Amino acid sequence: MTENLNTLPAILERNSIKFGEKPAFREKEFGIWQSWNWREVHEHVNNMSLGLINLGIKEGEHICIIGRNRPHLYWSIIAAQNVGAIPTPLYQDSVAQEMIFPISHCSAKMAIVENQEQVDKLLEIKKDITSLKNIIYLDPRGLRNYKNNNLYSLNDVFTLKNIENVSKLQTELKNRQSKQNLDTKSILLYTSGTTGRSKGVVLSNRNVIESGKAGIVFDNINSDFSLICYLPMAWVGDFAFSMGLGLQSGMCICCPESSETLHDDMREIGPSYFFGPPRFFESLLTSVNLKIDDASSVKRKLFDYFMSIAKENGEKILENKSVGLVNRIKYFFGELFIYGPLKNRMGLTKTKVGYTAGEAIGPEIFQFFRSLGINLKQLYGQTEACVFVTCQPDRQVHPETVGVPVSGVELKISKTGEVLYRSPGSFVEYFKDPANTKKTKDKEGWVSTGDAGFIDQETGHLKIIDRAKDVGKLKQGSLFAPKYVENKLKFYPNILEAVLFGSGKEYCVAMINIDLTAVGNWAEKNNISYASYQELAGHPEVYKMVAEHIREVNSSLSKDQNLSNCQIRRFLVLHKELDPDDGEITRTRKVRRNLVSDKYSDLIKALYDGSKEIYTETEVTYEDGRKGKISASVKIQELKETFEKAEVA
C-alpha cells in the first residue's frame, strides 16, 4: 500500500481506510460545526471525480478553483487531481479583469467556484477566456434564474445526478489513476507577483508529498492535530499546509464560517497547528492591547505584572531552560490568571506548533506570543519550494533568523549574497515560461530565491536581509535596504504599511499607511473626530504621532553602521490605503514597489523637491471592478532637526 502513496487522492484513500470514522474536515455552518469523516470525504471525492469525467474533463487540462476556504472546494482540488486534471486555485477577491490572465494562460476548461459573485465575474469576462467551457458552483443562492447551459451545481455533480454509465466512468477513473506517479503534475499556483506579471508555478506530486513529509517530520505532526484554514486557497501556504501536510498527517482540517468569524471559530476549534502571517499576530496583539486599555485598573495591573513575569521567564520555560523555583511559581499563577485565559480568548490554547512567515515579524510581537507559552516559530519558504525551505526547530528560536533547512533541503549562498536552495520540493517549471524557469532554477536544481541573506555563524541559522534586487545604494554610496527600515516602521501598530524610497538619491523618504483600527481607536480616546480614512490620515496629530515613530526608527538606524544613512528625512501619510484591487500590493499583501513609485511619482517628486503640501488625484478600483478617482492635498513633513542630530551621533 505505502509504495503507491504518490498522489494526494491516493493518500486520501489510505486515510479512509486507516482513519475511517475520524473527522477529516469540519466547517461551521448555520452556527454549528458540521463534520465529515475520512470515509465520507473519500466517497465525495470519488463521486466528484466521476462527475468531472462525465463533464468531459481530460487528463492534463486545468480546472480553476475560486472561493474562500471551504471543504467542498478542497475536495474539488483532490477530485481534479484524481482525474488527472491540474487544479489551479485563484484568489477569490480578485476583480474579474485580474482573472483573465491566469485563466487564459492555463487555458482552463472548467472552473469550480463558490458562489454567485464568482460566477458573475466569470460570465463578465467570458468572451476573453474562450477556453472556459463549464462553470460549477457550490452555493446555488441567487443562481436559480441563470439561463446558461454550461452552469452546473456542484451538488448535482457529486451526487451523480443524471448519470447512467457509472461503471464505465469508474473504469476510466481507475485507468487514469494508474497513470499518475510522483512526477506527474499536482497543482498549478499563480504567484502573487510582486514584480510584474504573476508566474504560474507547476508543482509535481513529488514536490507536494516530499515537502509535506518534511514538514510533518520536522514538528512530529500526527492525526490528532487540527488546523484551521483561512488564508487564500490560491496561496501556496494554504495548499501546502491544508492539503500537503493535512492529508498526509491525517489531521482534522477546519474551515471557518466566514472570514469575519475567524477569531470566534478559532476559539471553538483550538487548532494545534497554526499558521499566520506577521500581520495576523500584529492585529491580534493590537486587539489584546486595546481590550486591556479599556479594562478596569485591577485587571490592567494584574496584566502588566504578569506580563513582566512572562517577558522574563516565559521563553525560557518554553525552551526548557533553567528557571528559578520562585519564578516558576509566579509563572504558574500567571498562567492561571492571565496567560491561560488570554490564550483561550485568542484560540491558541491547544497550539502545539505555530508558524509565521512571509515577512519579518516584530521581535516584540514574536516574543509576546512566545512568552505566553505559545510555540510560535518562523519559517522561510516560497511558492517555488512548495513552502518549506527552513524552519526554526523547537527550543532553538532566534527572532532575527528563520531557522535551519528542513530535511532534504540544501542551502547555499551565492557570490552575490543571494540565498539558493535545492530540495525535493522545488518546483518543476514556470508554466509556459522556459526562459524564467531557466533564470530561476539552474541545471543542477539550485533555485534562486531572490532574497539576500547569510548563514549566521553563531547559530548556524539562515538570516534574511532583504529582497536582493531592492537593496541599492544612496547617492553617496552607502547601503539602501528599504525592507529592513519598512519593517522597523511596521512594527508600530499604528503603521500598517510603509514604502521607503532613496535608491540613487541623497536621502531617504517614506510614504506611510496608517492602521485604521489602531489609529481610529487612538483618535477616539483623544477626542479626535474624523469622517474618513483620508481625513484621519491627514490629521496634524496623526502626523505628529507618525513623526515620533519615525524619529525612534531614525535613532535606532543611526546606531547601525551600514544603514545610518537610511534614516528618513521627509515623509507623508498616504491619503488612501494601499489596496490589492488597485494592484499596489499583492493579494498576499506585499508592496509592488515599482508600481507604487510610478503611480505616486508626483508625491515622490514632492517628497524630494522641498514642497510642504501637494495636491494629487488617484485612481481607485472598487470591489466590483469599477474605477473612481479620489483627490487630496497631502502634507509632507520634514524631520530635519532630528536627522542631523542623529547623523552627528
Pick the closer one to another protein by CB: 259 or 562: 259
Pick the closer one to another protein by CB: 260 or 444: 260
Pick the closer one to another protein by CB: 165 or 258: 258
CB contact at 8 A, 535 and 576? no
N-to-C CA span, the chain? 68
**Residue 93 touches another protein, criterion: CB under 8 A:** no
CB contact at 8 A, 25 and 255? yes
Listed ranges 26-34, 162-170, 211-219, 386-394: which one lies at the site for another protein (CB under 8 A): 26-34
Least CB distance to another protein at residue 257 (A)? 5
Listed ranges 27-35, 331-339, 364-372, 483-491: which one lies at the site for another protein (CB under 8 A): 27-35
What is the C-alpha separation between 107 and 453, in angstroms, rounded? 38
Least CB distance to another protein at residue 520 (A)? 13
Give the torsion sign (CA, 135, 139, 143, 149): positive
Q: Which of 29, 293, 524, 541 binds another protein (CB under 8 A)?
A: 29
Q: Across 438-576, where does the E strand assignment appear?
A: 447-455, 462-467, 472-473, 479-480, 495-501, 508-514, 568-573
Q: Which of 1, 3, 31, 648 binds another protein (CB under 8 A)?
A: 31
Pick the closer one to another protein by CB: 60 or 142: 142
Other C-beta atoms closer than 10 Å to the C-beta of 615 total 10
Least CB distance to another protein at residue 628 (A)? 10
Listed ranges 30-38, 43-51, 244-252, 428-436: which one lies at the site for another protein (CB under 8 A): 30-38
Residue 251 DSSP class: P
Q: Total residues at the site for another protein (CB under 8 A)?
A: 14
Least CB distance to another protein at residue 112 (A)? 21
Least CB distance to another protein at residue 151 (A)? 16
CB contact at 8 A, 79 and 103? no
Pick the closer one to another protein by CB: 257 or 456: 257
Q: Across 151-283, where does the E strand assignment appear?
A: 151-153, 185-190, 200-204, 226-228, 252-255, 273-275
Q: Which of residues 383-412 bind another protein (CB under 8 A)?
A: none
Pick the closer one to another protein by CB: 28 or 488: 28
Q: Which of residues 119-158 bind another protein (CB under 8 A)?
A: 141-142, 144-145
Least CB distance to another protein at residue 142 (A)? 5
**Residue 623 touches another protein, criterion: CB under 8 A:** yes
Pick the closer one to another protein by CB: 261 or 555: 261
Pick the closer one to another protein by CB: 34 or 171: 34
CB contact at 8 A, 172 and 51? no
Pick the closer one to another protein by CB: 128 or 257: 257
What is the C-alpha separation between 449 and 435, in angstroms, rounded? 16
Least CB distance to another protein at residue 263 (A)? 9
What is the 3 state secondary structure string of 353-419? EEEECCCCCCHHHHHHHHHCCCCEEEEEEEHHHCEEEEECCCCCCCCCCCCEECCCCEEEECCCCEE
What is the C-alpha separation between 400 and 392, in angstroms, rounded? 11
Pick the closer one to another protein by CB: 530 or 608: 530
Least CB distance to another protein at residue 155 (A)? 15
Which of 243, 220, 223, 217 is CA-nearest to residue 231? 243
**Residue 30 touches another protein, criterion: CB under 8 A:** yes
Which of 275, 405, 284, 282 is CA-nearest to residue 353? 275
Binding mask 245-264 for another protein (x = CB under 8 A): ------------xx-xx--x
Listed ranges 24-32, 57-65, 74-82, 278-286: which one lies at the site for another protein (CB under 8 A): 24-32
What is the 3 state secondary structure string of 416-466? CCEEEEECCCCCCEECCCHHHHHHHECCCCCEEEEEEEEECCCCCCEEEEE
Give the ranges where 295-349 is alpha helix by DSSP (H).
297-318, 325-334, 340-346
Cα dihedral 141→106→211→467 (10° resolution): -100
Least CB distance to another protein at residue 140 (A)? 9
Least CB distance to another protein at residue 231 (A)? 18
Pick the closer one to another protein by CB: 31 or 434: 31
To the nearest 10 degrees (0 to 180), the angle between helices 205-219 and 8-18 is: 50
Least CB distance to another protein at residue 300 (A)? 22
CB contact at 8 A, 482 and 509? no
Residues that bind another protein (CB under 8 A): 29-32, 141-142, 144-145, 257-258, 260-261, 264, 623
